[in-house]
């Protein structure tokens, strides 16, 4: 979950100045996949790895601006099948374990002993999954809009829960599908997004993407169209992961939380997040002494929500100041 943040209006005045990458890489991670990686900020600074949302959202230059470029070495990468990674929209060998392995390839190729993880929505899911698999390689977590990849969360967003608040927008998402298939819209869209007919896949990618985008922020609007290649990659990858429940056991991220409870964590969660409701963040934080849950008023899901952006910058600046102390 979480559409590319740079396509939602940026919150100027709260972010660090834009910094161009000092290095770009195209890493061969096997299985026919090549991963686009970029580094910006201080080459000798504290490494922070940014995990984008979706699955399938890709990274944006906007994401570099949460990190003081004099202090942080910000590492952004497009996950398998999306953004500038290739092949685009491919679900071959594209699972959560594959993405965890890709993070390890990136970490080792850049010569990093450990990294701070910064991820929102699906990026928060992946950050938790990676940290639980490799707790010794993580120095801390900064999470936003927590998604735990449970069936209840999928039912909320694709089973009509969120649609009770947005019946008009829900109808736009549901109505392209015959009524006989409304009982499982993820499966119904899967048939069409993987039909092998590029035109048909593109047509059904648009309502899939627009449903999520319309609910991302308190001031979001339902756009009528998105770039076709982006929409198809986003919709196919997200649907692929949700069809397979993100390749995680039900409740796995809460079950295995004990593996990372020694790590410091901050969760920045919109109080009115309709994509990933606050209950998941609350459940994740309860009993985790090192976790600081910050429920942000008058805010939804998107990374570029003004109060969300401002709070994330405060978090990263505070950790910078602790490093310097």
Sheet holding 115-120, edge to edge: 23-30, 33-41, 72-77, 46-51, 115-120, 138-144, 265-270, 291-296
* Phi-psi region at 38: left, alpha or beta (left = phi > 0; alpha = psi -120 to 50): beta
Identify whether the C-beta of residue 61 lies closer than 8 Å to the C-beta of residue 18. yes
DSSP single-letter state for residue 86: B
What is the DSSP secondary structure assignment for residue 44, as one 8-state letter? Answer: T
Q: What is the dihedral sign for C-alpha 198, 2, 151, 170? A: negative
Q: Which of 179, 178, 224 shows the shortest CA–CA distance to 203?
A: 224
Cα(188)–Cα(67) distance, rounded to whole angstroms?
A: 40
Cα separation, 284 vs 289, whole angstroms:
11
- DSSP per position, 180-196: GGTT-HHHHHHHHHTSS
Catalytic residue, candidates 2, 78, 102, 273: 273
Catalytic (active site) residue 301? yes
90, 121, 280, 299: which is the annotated catalytic residue?
Answer: 121
CA 61 to chain centre: 15
CB 48 within 8 A of CB 41: no
Angle between helices 167-174 and 198-215 (to 10 degrees): 170
Closest listed residue to residue 250, CA positions, set 159, 153, 117: 153
Both tokens assigned to 308: 């969300």
CB 241 within 8 A of CB 267: no
Task: With beta carbons less than 8 A apart as the criterion, state whether 236 and 267 touch.
Answer: no
> Does residue 273 carry a catalytic annotation?
yes
Give the closest residue to 130 by CA, choosing from 144, 146, 116.
Answer: 116
In the set 36, 71, 190, 301, the catalytic residue is 301
Catalytic residues, which ones?
121, 273, 301
């Amino acid at each position: 979950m979480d559409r590319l943040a740079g396509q939602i209006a940026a919150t100027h005045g709260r972010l660090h100045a834009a910094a161009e990458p000092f290095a770009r890489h195209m890493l061969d991670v096997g299985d026919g996949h090549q991963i686009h990686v970029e580094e910006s900020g201080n080459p000798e600074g504290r490494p922070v790895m940014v995990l984008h949302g979706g699955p399938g959202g890709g990274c944006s230059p906007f994401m570099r601006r949460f990190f003081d470029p004099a202090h942080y070495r910000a590492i952004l990468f497009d996950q398998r099948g999306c953004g500038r990674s290739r092949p685009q929209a491919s679900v071959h060998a594209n699972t959560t374990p594959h993405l965890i392995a890709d993070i390890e390839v990136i970490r080792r190729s850049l010569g990093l002993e450990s990294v701070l993880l910064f991820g929102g929505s699906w990026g928060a899911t992946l950050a938790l999954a990676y940290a639980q698999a490799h707790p010794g390689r993580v120095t801390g977590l900064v999470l936003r809009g927590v998604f735990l990849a449970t069936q209840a969360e999928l039912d909320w967003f694709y089973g009509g829960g969120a649609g009770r608040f947005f019946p008009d927008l829900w109808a736009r998402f549901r109505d392209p599908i015959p009524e006989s298939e409304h009982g499982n819209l993820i499966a119904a869209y899967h048939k069409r997004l993987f039909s092998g007919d590029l035109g048909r896949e593109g047509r059904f990618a648009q309502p899939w993407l627009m449903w999520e985008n319309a609910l991302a922020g308190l001031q979001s609007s339902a756009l009528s169209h998105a770039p076709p290649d982006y929409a198809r990659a986003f919709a196919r990858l997200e649907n692929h992961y949700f069809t397979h429940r993100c390749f995680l056991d039900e409740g796995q991220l809460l079950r295995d939380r004990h593996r990372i409870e020694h790590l410091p964590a901050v969760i920045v969660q919109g109080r009115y997040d309709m994509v990933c409701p606050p209950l998941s963040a609350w459940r994740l934080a309860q009993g985790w002494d090192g976790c600081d849950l910050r429920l942000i008023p008058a805010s939804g899901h998107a990374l570029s929500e003004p109060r969300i952006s401002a709070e994330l910058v405060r978090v990263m600046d505070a950790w910078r100041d602790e490093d310097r102390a």
